[in-house]
Amino acid sequence: MSTQPLRGLWSITAPGADIVCALSAGCGTVELVVEQGGEVLHRETYPDYSTAHERSRALRAECDEKVCRLQQQPWLRTPTCVLRPWRLSDAPALPIHANNPAIGRNLRDGFPYPYTLDSALAFIAGAQALQPLCRFAIVLGGEAVGSIGFTLHPNVERVSAEVGYWLGESCWGRGITTDAVRAVTRYAITHHGLTRVYAVPYEWNTASFKVLEKAGYSCEGRMRRSAIKDGQIVDQLLYAFVVSEPGNPDAV
Ligand SMILES: CC(C)(COP(=O)(O)OP(=O)(O)OC[C@H]1O[C@@H](n2cnc3c(N)ncnc32)[C@H](O)[C@@H]1OP(=O)(O)O)[C@@H](O)C(=O)NCCC(=O)NCCS
């Protein structure tokens, strides 16, 4: 079957976007492809040009909205790294940094090992779908080298959030996560009117205790035998950053 490449229909070039839409003619059909940074977002086949063209217009409107949302999302700049919303184009970097049992053993179950490109794509799709924004890529020299995020709580605990993070091992020991935790803690408190952000590292995770202490968290106690990790019952330490005025990270 010969496929004839046809004209690009439209493109959107904006920071974090680079979306192109093109049509190609096949055997009595027309294929419509939309790519973002080389990743295929949509690939659909239509019986004729006018249907494909009409669909491409609707996709254009969806993509415009998506880019608009992306551009309204904040970037947090810290002395050592940038935190920004996840992009599909971050996927290839993720397995390089995340495929490491030394990371997963310190996190909740569900962090994959081996960590594949599919794991990365599933994670990024989930992070992008979350509203409001609460997952950030930790970016160094343009590359996503880790992840940090927070989980807001419902009902009476709506003034609290839990923070979680990991960083690729090649970047450990440079103060990067400490900067990221400081920035995300401020962001979460300010944007969501919180009084408290907390973390519950496992009893052996001295590096994480140090990160939290350097970022201004206090150890409130030991949650004895509160989790099971890799078949072992473990204690978790409860660290919290607490403010006296909701939404004011400086009211410590
Ligand atoms: C925990 C983690 C995020 C730390 O990232 P990082 O960018 O290296 O952290 P920082 O450089 O900001 O600070 C780490 C501190 O811990 C110290 N540290 C590291 N390993 C340590 C150890 N085994 N014992 C004592 N201190 C240790 C470092 O020296 C540094 O302290 P310093 O600045 O006083 O020298 C990283 O190790 C990681 O991704 N671990 C796996 C995932 C994880 O544990 N996530 C947290 C779950 S609660």
pLDDT in tens, 227-246: 999 999 999 999 999 999 99
Residue with CA closest to ligand 1 atom 26: 207
Query: If you average pLDDT over every residue of the chain, what do you get?
Result: 91
Atom of ligand 1 nearest to the CA of 174: 11
Q: What is the pLDDT of residues 86-144, one digit of tens each?
A: 999 999 999 999 999 999 999 999 999 999 999 999 999 999 999 899 999 999 999 99
Specify whether domain 4-72 bears CATH 3.40.50: no
Domain assignments of the chain as residue spans, ordered by start: 4-72, 76-242
Q: What is the pLDDT of residues 23-79, one digit of tens each?
A: 888 778 888 888 877 778 888 999 888 888 888 888 888 887 777 767 677 899 999
How far apart are the CA of 207 and the centre of ligand 1, in A? 3
Between 4-8, 137-141, 219-223, the lowest mean confidence (pLDDT) is in: 4-8
Question: According to the model, what pLDDT value does residue 111 have?
Answer: 96
The best mutation among 145, 208, 237 to test binding of ligand 1, ranked by most ligand atoms within 8 Å of the C-beta, falls on 208
> What is the radius of gyration, based on Cα positions, of the chain?
22
Superfamily, domain 76-242:
Gcn5-related N-acetyltransferase (GNAT) (3.40.630.30)
Question: According to the model, what pLDDT value does residue 60 have?
Answer: 85
Atom of ligand 1 nearest to the CA of 211: 13
Helix (H, G, I), strand (E, B) or coil at 228: strand
What beta strand segments (E) does the chain contain?
A: 4-12, 19-25, 30-36, 39-46, 76-77, 82-85, 135-140, 143-152, 160-167, 196-199, 218-229, 232-242
